């Protein structure tokens, strides 16, 4: 399935259409219609954007997404170590904000298309309830790119679909 097709499939599930590309300066990526993207600071990545779905009055399958892009060159050989460091930094940051880890499945390495990906699924308890944070990372154009999707455990497939589509759609400006 093409990247736009995967995002279109997710958009159709939530009743939205594609909005086109979001130009984040350092990188650009596909964005489902109605979703907002804003630049944010991150504990590990040099460039980060928070994506939020439109307010439709009902709970969306994926509550929010972070798209993280590193400035350092990272190939597939360094992916496990660099992505692991980013994941560890996010775990410490969650604990600092009072979120409690509630377990999760072990790190998962897989290939999607022709690229190696690393995935973590962390169950998180907070004052607003339990959720699952799926972090999927890959080396894209020799940069570490990760997507963290916040969803409920029963909508993890939606989180995976969106995360993989976003990772596949990231492109960089030529310098």
Using the 8-state DSSP alphabet, how is residue 128 labeled? T
**Residue 153, token pair as written in the block:** 């455990």
Are 83 and 137 within 8 A, CB to CB? Answer: yes
Q: What is the pLDDT of residues 104-117, one digit of tens each?
A: 666 799 999 889 99
Within 13 Å, how many C-alpha atoms sit on residue 164's CB side?
22
- The sign of the dihedral angle between the CA atoms of 124, 133, 157, 16 is positive
Q: Which domains does the chain have, with CATH numbers?
A: 3-172 (3.40.1000.10)
119 and 156 in contact (C-beta within 8 Å)?
A: no
Give the tens place of pLDDT for each residue, 149-170: 988 888 889 999 999 999 999 9
The answer to whether 65 touches 10, Cβ cutoff 8 Å, is no
d(CA 61, CA 158): 6
Whole-model pTM?
0.82
């Amino acid at each position: 399935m093409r990247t736009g097709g995967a995002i279109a499939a997710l958009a159709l599930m939530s009743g939205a259409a594609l909005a086109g590309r979001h130009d984040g300066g350092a990188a650009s990526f596909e964005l489902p219609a109605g979703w907002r993207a804003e630049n944010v600071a991150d504990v590990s990545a040099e460039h980060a954007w928070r994506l939020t779905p439109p307010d439709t009055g009902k709970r969306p399958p994926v509550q929010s997404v972070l798209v993280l892009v590193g400035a350092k060159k990272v190939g597939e050989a360094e992916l496990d170590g660099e992505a692991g460091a980013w994941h560890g930094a996010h775990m410490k940051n969650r604990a600092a904000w009072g979120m409690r880890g509630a377990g999760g499945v072990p790190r998962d390495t897989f290939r999607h298309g022709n690229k190696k990906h690393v995935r973590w699924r962390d169950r998180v308890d907070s004052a607003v309830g339990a959720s699952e944070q799926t972090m999927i990372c890959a080396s894209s154009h020799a940069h570490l790119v990760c997507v963290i999707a916040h969803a409920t455990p029963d909508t993890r497939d939606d989180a995976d679909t969106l995360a993989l589509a976003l990772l596949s759609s990231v492109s960089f400006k030529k310098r």
